[in-house]
Amino acid sequence: MESEGAATILHADLDAFYASVEQLLDPSLRGRPIAVGGGVVLAASYEARAFGVHSGMSGWRAKSLCPRLRFVRGHFREYQRLADLVMDVLRDFTPVVERISIDEAFLDVRGSVHLFGPPAAIAGEIRRRVRQEIGLPLSVGVARTKHLAKVASQVAKPDGLVVVEPDRERDFLRPLPVELMWGVGPVTRERLAGRGVRTIGELADVSPGALQHLLGVAVGAKLASLADNRDPRPVAPPRRASSVGAQSALGRKRPTPELVATVLAHLADRVASRMRAATLAGRTITVRVRFAGMRSVTRSVTVPDPVSSTRTLTELAVELAWTALRDEGAEPEVTLLGVAVSNLATEPALQLLLPLGIEGDTLRPGTASGAARWALDRSVDAIRAKFGRGSVGYVPVVLSDMAMVPDDFRELAERDLRPAANRPAGSDRSQRPPPGG
């Protein structure tokens, strides 16, 4: 594709974010291999990564690779506060900022060059300010498209700046490994390697039809476009969410009743608590099940009244998941479960209903049983707000022996549903998730 326009899109990505914050808070950790977590590595410093330690690895495995590795518990409020200060620096240069996780964002600076100079100069000044004012390293990629800017920021790591001018885009992309592309994880990388495809240039040489046959229609078409540097997506500042969701990767597991109930209870708790924090409820509940082989199916139901109850959402999600699993037939292996709620509506207060004895009353918030669930959820929310999320929980999750990423860590990567004007005091400039690249 012929290049059009100038390289005015920036991708800013904080380096090894969680570990860098710990080293900022405790200077004695600087230059040492550290990991945030315990039983599971949630994030690792570059010094630890040099030994092969990475996020998602078990703690004992990380220690065996790096005996000098030091684990730290994590300061989740500081992660949020410092990341938001970095985002404020980005918005000082342009209002066109699209935050895609706690520690990374896209910017379009085409309207700012007359104030701050060319994009490369803007990127350099952003990096300088983040380092001097906040104390964190930031890598920035500058390019004509979002995909290329993100790839450039990965090449720039750690603590660097890479500008890809329009006339050298193809030369820049071709020798790079395919895993730098957006959406290429370990499974896709291995499938491509099985076909002899290891670089973006080799991927670009494969026909779109062959990629779709290998990876599926959607993934194959997407990667074919990105490898050819076709990415028309603009930088889009966030709008109010139209849905709320969460998902959990499982490896490859047989879907036992205990597994499905535990995972979906955990996901429903996360989704429902986020909706309640934003005074929202939703009518359409969707469950996603991904099977071995990367094939996914979804099942949805729309209920008469918006719900935000954790227990109600759990019950609906479990029923939908088993519908999908039964439709699949012979004992499939699942690799991911997800829950999403859409058709959102504001839920500032509970409207009680007359006890008419209608079937399915437990799904309706205003009935006696629905009101009891409503009150229980808000009691749980109040306890968590005062004593921390881990202070109280629902039985299927609390009593499970499944290893899960701490909720405090997950919440950092989940978008705040409220507009800025409705966020709690202290969540903006003065105070304010896998991140950490």
Catalytic residue set: 104
Burial of 285 (0-12, 13-18, 19+ CB in 10 A): buried
For residue 113, give the H/E element and its range. Answer: helix 113-116
Q: What are the tokens at 365?
A: 């918030």
* Separation CA 426–CA 89 (nearest Å): 17
Q: Angle 310-328/257-277 helices, nearest 10 degrees?
A: 140
What is d(CA 377, CA 152) in angstroms, rounded to the nearest whole number?
44
CB atoms within 10 A of CB 273: 20
Q: How many CB atoms lie within 10 A of CB 413?
A: 15
Cis peptide before 257 (omega within 30 of 0): no
The strand ranges marked E within 86-235 are 97-101, 104-108, 138-143, 161-163
Between the CA of residue 301 and those of 14, 317, 431, what are the distances in Å?
39, 9, 39
- Tokens for 32, please give them: 């040492």
Phi, then psi, of 232 in degrees rounded to 5: -85, 0
Q: In what order do the strands lie in the sheet with 104-108?
A: 97-101, 104-108, 9-14, 138-143, 161-163
